[in-house]
Structure 1
């Protein structure tokens, strides 16, 4: 077992410790995304019927997706709150709070009565719970990837930075798998109690995540900053004042991994069931296969980042996603089961390449004393826009008379934004060495 020196004289951290931290970040992130993805799937299959009651199916779906988008709109608030606290009092403490918040809120959604029982209070409370989910997720990912990278040996930073990302497809597998299982129930059982089971499963999953999170050590780099009192007094404000170009470019590089993913999963589930008339089980199965393939892509992407750099991998993956957008939707439009699975999987695999290296790229954009805030804000600015992607794709679908051409062009546009920002990122980077050393000092503020 090898041992390395901590940053700027911090206590030595073993590779085993780095792996434990990355695994803890992965498990917590998997729970966060399991809970968050449950809402996206339920918005397509349940909430549009049971909570946003209307005779117009399109209006109900738009309302459900609007509540879905609220969670993304709340994520910057979480980034501000937990980014500030993470750069001031520590990464680990914030991550325990965020995982607790989202686990409890998700379980409460599983207990929430529908519109037929409590009327307008049902969609209001559901939207409030989604808001709280968004706040928690807004602070989760930035802290998880920062903690993992700051523990990582420089030569293996790409793979450790990819570990929290793997929580996303694992969360998808768990949430889609749970819904696929309960979707086999008779319709009346599914509507009355079946869909609630995956949400209530958040209770035991939360207990596991908390046990693992509490065993993770604080970032040695942050401990060094704390010891030498090099923290920024107002890290969020300082990011906006001095690092806004990095913030915008970072958000752009993260856009495809989040927005593109929701277009090819959440929107496609709704499109396939309502417009193409496909069984929901087929769309959920396609999402499961795509998520399994995504895990492999994320692992490989982390290795590619170590060899070629995160920015180059981002550009290559985004251009690839743009090229496969139309072929993927052509396959989906056939409604043939195998073709649909291949189409969803192909698009997901390509857009997951930039997502695999997002943690490595974003942590290089910001110096240590602003890192939690900068990474969280970048990812969640992208998240705000991404939350409206299913809504925008649904509106474009209606505008195009049910044709998939306009939603596909939306995916191409998102891909090109990420490619362009990936090209600009190295020119704004704080430097790879800044990730694991405390040589970048916090200016007096």
Structure 2
């Protein structure tokens, strides 16, 4: 049990730090980067361009999932998690010292995109290993224990938002845009040291050790040849959760500023919703151990499809209270229902010999919804100046999730032990 606790702590803290770095960029892309790295563009075009660099990180995530998944299935989960964390910490620190457009012109956004790609590769390899570190140590309540990796995402968002808010409040808006935004990125090196200390104390998972002698095929080949159907369904199951998450944590920031909210009002609402979201992810994931993964995700997708049509009218009211309520409903209730159970569900879809690769690839390709959602919505808003089409797109992604969940068998009763069962259960 002590190793399970260490594994869960390492998964949660490591995920928090990784997503602090990754989502710090998300918040900065909505509030700062359009002015710092795209200052030569019209404000709306600059916002689209800023979200475009944000999306490149999500494009790189499947690459990271394949690379680190391959070696994670062959060499072990722990080694890869040390590498992904180091890569993320260094790339985030370098963003903090990057010259702006005013300093070096077009080279600045080019270097920003390069570092964002490195971030994407790092977080692409991080999630699968972090989830398996907990899931493969657990002998029961897998949904609960695996969910701490997913809870690291809103926790990282909370920490990054608090650091940005505190920095902005201390140095003032003018100084914040000039140099203050760099401070949260520079702190990545400190967090890197903390994360490495925690992860180095965890042992390799017993499930991986037990199956080590059985490895004989390239993990990616096994996934694409034998498990292509669960892979495709896993992508569809997760897509709407990512679209919803990025809509409310990234696009709404930029939209809210344009609608007259102050930066601080939006950051405060997002912080409250994200704190509640941590609780929501863990609670709904624990519920999936009792009621199954499929029912929880289905209810969440149905609820989010309907809520997408209420989200923007609540924001358009101009009330900070309604803005906060909207984000809490979305990020702390409905999105966690779709997102929380994914950690256990993705682990249960693939055999031990290629679980890191399969789970990572499905999750990270689904994650493209988070990368391209804000970019797509910003373009829709720029062209149409309305939000109804955005709500329709959100509902369409939720419909995709519903169809894919219905096509899957329930996975919560499956053993991850290769001596008991080591095959995909997503064949229905």
- The residue number in structure 1 matching 2:156 is 171
Pair 1:62 & 2:56 matched = no
Aligned partners of 2:414, 2:326: CA distance in 1, in Å? 40
2:28 match: 42
Partner of 2:367: 383
Any conservation in 2 of the 1:232–1:370 contact (CA below 8 Å)?
A: no
Counterpart CA distance in 1 for 2:215 and 2:413 is 20
Report whether the alignment pairs 1:397 with 2:381.
yes
Work out the CA distance in 1 between the residues paired with 2:417 and 2:5: 16
Question: 1:233, CA displacement in angstroms?
Answer: 2.6
Between 1:312-321 and 1:209-218, the stretch displaced more is: 312-321
Asked if 1:258 corresponds to 2:239, the answer is: no
What are the residue-to-residue correspondences of 1:43-122 with 2, within 5 Å?
Answer: 43-122=29-108
CA distance in structure 1 between the aligned counterparts of 2:208 and 2:119, rounded to whole angstroms: 27
User: Is contact 1:287–1:344 with CA below 8 Å preserved after alignment?
Assistant: yes
1:11 is matched with none
Q: How does 1:354-433 map to 2 (within 5 A)?
A: 354-401=338-385, 403-426=386-409, 432-433=413-414
Does residue 305 (structure 1) correspond to residue 272 (structure 2)? The answer is no
Q: Deviations over 1:273-300 (max 9, x none)?
A: 12x1221111111110110111111121
Once residues 232 and 249 of structure 2 are traced to their aligned partners in structure 1, the CA distance between those partners, rounded to angstroms, is 25
Unaligned ranges ≥5, structure 1: 1-14
TM, length-normalised to structure 1: 0.92
Relative to structure 2, which stretch is displaced further, 110-119 or 407-416?
Answer: 407-416
Task: Name the TM-score, length of structure 2 as normaliser.
Answer: 0.95
Q: Give yes or no for contact 1:264–1:347 (8 Å, CA) kept in 2.
A: yes
1:231 to 192, 206, 215: 215
Rounded to whole Å, the distance in 2 between the matches of 1:88 and 1:151 is: 18
Alignment of 1:175-214 (within 5 A): 175-184=160-169, 185-214=171-200
**385-394 or 134-143, larger mean C-alpha shift:** 385-394
Q: Contact between 2:251 and 2:378, CA under 8 Å: does it hold in 1?
A: yes
| Match among 95, 98, 119 for residue 133 of structure 1 | 119
User: Which stretch of the first structure deviates more once superposed, 183-192 or 103-112?
Assistant: 183-192
Structure 2 distance, partners of 1:33, 1:441, is 31
* Deviation for aligned residue 1:53: 2.6
Q: Does the 8 Å contact 1:88/1:233 carry over to 2?
A: no
Q: Alignment length, in residue pairs?
A: 422
Q: CA deviation at 1:334?
A: 0.6
C-alpha offsets along residues 170-224 of structure 1, whole Å, 9 cap, x if unaligned? Answer: 1010011111112223232112221111111111111000000001110111111
Match of 1:142 among 94, 112, 128: 128
Secondary structure at the residue paired with 1:151?
coil
* CA distances 1:114-146 after superposition (whole Å, capped 9, x unpaired): 111111111111100000000001000011111
Matched, 1:438 2:419: yes
Instruction: Verify the 8 A CA contact 1:48 1:60 in the aligned structure 2.
Output: yes
Deviation at 1:440, TM superposition (A): 4.2
Tell me, in whole angstroms, the C-alpha distance in 1 between the residues paired with 2:362 and 2:204.
22
User: Hey, what's the Cα distance between the residues in 2 that align with 1:232 and 1:359?
Assistant: 26
1:441 Cα deviation after fit: 5.7
Whether contact under 8 Å (1:87, 1:370) holds in the other structure is yes
Contact map agreement 2:238 2:338 (CA 8 A) in 1: yes
CA distance in 1, matches of 2:243, 2:63: 19
* Cα distance in 2 between the residues matched to 1:77 and 1:93: 18
Out of 297, 313, 322, the position equivalent to 1:330 is 313
Contact 1:368 1:434 (8 Å CA) reproduced: no
Shift of 1:257: 2.4
Question: 1:12 maps to what in 2?
Answer: none
**Given the alignment of the two structures, is residue 159 of structure 1 paired with residue 140 of structure 2, yes or no?**
no
Q: Find the residue that maps to 2:407 and give its secondary structure.
A: helix
The superposition leaves residues 232-277 of structure 1 with CA deviations (integer Å, 9 ceiling, x where unpaired) of 4310121011111111111122212222100111000011112x12
The separation in 1 between residues aligned to 2:408 and 2:350, in whole angstroms, is: 11
Task: Report Cα offsets for 1:43-85 as digits up to 9, x if no partner.
Answer: 1111111112324111111111111000000011101100100
Paired position in structure 1 for 2:11 = 25
Bigger Cα displacement from structure 2, 47-56 vs 337-346: 47-56
2:214 counterpart SS class: coil
Aligned to 2:426: none
> What's the Cα RMSD here?
1.6
Deviation at 1:323, TM superposition (A): 2.0
Q: Tell me if structure 2 keeps the 8 A contact 1:221–1:438.
A: no
- More moved, 128-137 vs 18-27: 18-27
1:413-442 deviations in Å (ceiling 9; x for gaps): 222222222222217x5x743413434469
Q: SS of the counterpart of 1:267?
A: helix
User: Aligned pair in 2 of structure 1 residues 273, 219: CA closer, same or farther (>3 Å)?
Assistant: same
Q: Using the TM superposition, give the Cα deviation of residue 318 of structure 1 relative to its aligned residue in structure 2, in angstroms.
A: 1.1
